[in-house]
Structure 1
Amino acid sequence: MATKRNAGTAEPERRSARERLLAAADELFYEGGIHTVGIDRVIERAGVAKASLYDCFGSKDELIRAYLQARHEARQARVTQRLARCDTPREKLLGVFDGLREAMSTPGFRGCAFTRVTAETQPSAGVKAVCDDARGWLRELFTSLAREVGVADPAALARQLTLLYDGALAASQLGGGAEAAETARGAAAVMLEAALAAPPQS
């Protein structure tokens, strides 16, 4: 008769080697940086054979790309869920900063993974593409929300709000904490009102 596995220990065993490697990379790369953390540490944390890493990803660079892609998708889901709680386009636009404050208040928050990777090294084409996609998605989100609110120049406001978002992330790492997102939200509200008051483009 087979012995029933403990529910608390069975879950890790059900995860694939790829999932375990990505989970380990997410923890270690985000905490320590992609240069400081070698593949041996990732493999040890994941509890898989070294061959599994190369079978699943082919190289450390591809593992980094996959780690960032997962981070990008997680942020998209988190922001989308946060905005679903808002009733109006204006609330949604400012809600992006509310979501940022919530993320900053999470234990273990260490800033923007994409900025940290590009600051550490000249990224490969694959890694740079993910970072560009993440930044492009945020700007397009702001553009879309600004258009829904009805500002005269949604693209211009989106550029300003993206800079605010980036600045809040940087400030949070310099001792500003979650308060940086609150300050950015206040500035975003002022920018939004100014954009709404601007005359329509000819």
Structure 2
Amino acid sequence: MHDEKTAPVAKASGGSQTRQRILDAANELFYNHGIRATSADRIIEQVGLTKVTFYRHFRTKSDLVVAYLQQQSAAEQGWIRSTVHDGDPLETARAIAAGIGAASCSPGFRGCAFINAAAEYPDTQDPVRVAVDVHRAWILEFFAEIAAQAGASDVESVAQQLMILRDGAMVNGYLGDSAAVADSLEAGFLSILGPGDDGGR
């Protein structure tokens, strides 16, 4: 999910503060307007920097995009970990569904920052796409852990199904009825993770 707020850093150096200001501007502009549609010059203007200062922190725009995605990844991973109910994968799934549902109803929601980035960077060898794939691999591994806790017989298959539901919910939250996302996603998760022979269980 997209995190528009960045935790303050205590006693950050001037260089660290400047770097974070650039990332904050990139976070807003990349997410709201698109990565390729947002030039480095626009970010420089919004932050109020010289080009020399900008490129001292990020040698290329691609470096900035990767840093933006890494920051988003850290935020989303932290949130996902916060949903964990030890020993109760169904409650964890419910918490994830509720969180995605809440995010999709929030002002300015534009879907998943990583799906959006992948659409703009189809080359799987591009550093930006690599950053996307690293994050998605982490989520898939997390879903595999949930599947294993739920007793799935085919953990990999169940993890893939959960990932597809998550992706669909993020897209539908932007394009469809965002108010229905939480309940629909929870129902989908539980239909896969709950008792029964379907879904690789």
Structure 1 stretches of 5 or more lacking a match? 1-10
In the TM superposition, 1:1-202 aligns within 5 A as: 16-83=17-84, 88-123=88-123, 125-193=126-194, 196-198=195-197
Contact 2:87/2:149 (<8 A) preserved: no
CA positional deviation for 1:13: 9.9
Alpha-carbon distance between aligned partners in 2 of 1:178 and 1:156, rounded to the nearest angstrom = 28
Shift of 1:180: 2.2
More helix by share: 1
What is the alpha-carbon distance in structure 2 between the residues aligned to residue 145 and residue 60 of structure 1? Answer: 37
Is the alpha carbon distance of 1:178 and 1:71 closer, same or farther for their aligned partners in structure 2, counting shifts above 3 Å?
farther
The structural deviation recorded for 1:12 is 11
Letter of the 2:96 partner, please give it.
V
3-state DSSP of counterpart to 1:106? coil
Distance in 2 separating the partners of 1:91 and 1:32: 35
In 2, the alpha carbon distance for the partners of 1:89 and 1:177 equals 24
Q: Contact conserved, 1:72 with 1:134, CA < 8 A, in 2?
A: yes
SS at match of 1:16: helix
CA-to-partner distance for each residue in 1:17-62, whole Å, 9 max, x for gaps? 1111001000111010012111111112222221122111100011
Q: Which piece of structure 1 moves more, 107-116 or 173-182?
A: 173-182
Please state whether the residue corresponding to 1:83 is helix, strand or coil.
coil
Which stretches in structure 2 are left out of the alignment for 5+ residues?
1-10
Identity %: 33
CA contact (8 A) 1:93 1:142 kept: no
> Which secondary structure state, in structure 2, belongs to the residue aligned with residue 35 of structure 1?
coil
Take 2:84 and 2:105, find their aligned partners in 1: how far apart are those partners?
A: 18
Runs of 4+ in structure 1 over 4 Å off = 11-15
Q: Which has the larger radius of gyration?
A: 1
CA distance in 2, matches of 1:150, 1:12: 45
Normalized against structure 2, the TM-score is what?
Answer: 0.83
AA paired with 1:107? P
Amino acid at match of 1:140: E
8 Å CA contact 1:31, 1:110 repeated in 2: yes
Q: What amino acid is the match of 1:26?
A: N
How far off its partner does 1:94 sit? 3.0
Distance (whole Å) between structure 2 residues aligned to residue 43 and residue 121 of structure 1: 22
CA distance in 2, matches of 1:69, 1:125: 15
- Code of the residue aligned with 2:132 in structure 1: it is C
CA distance in 2, matches of 1:53, 1:147: 45
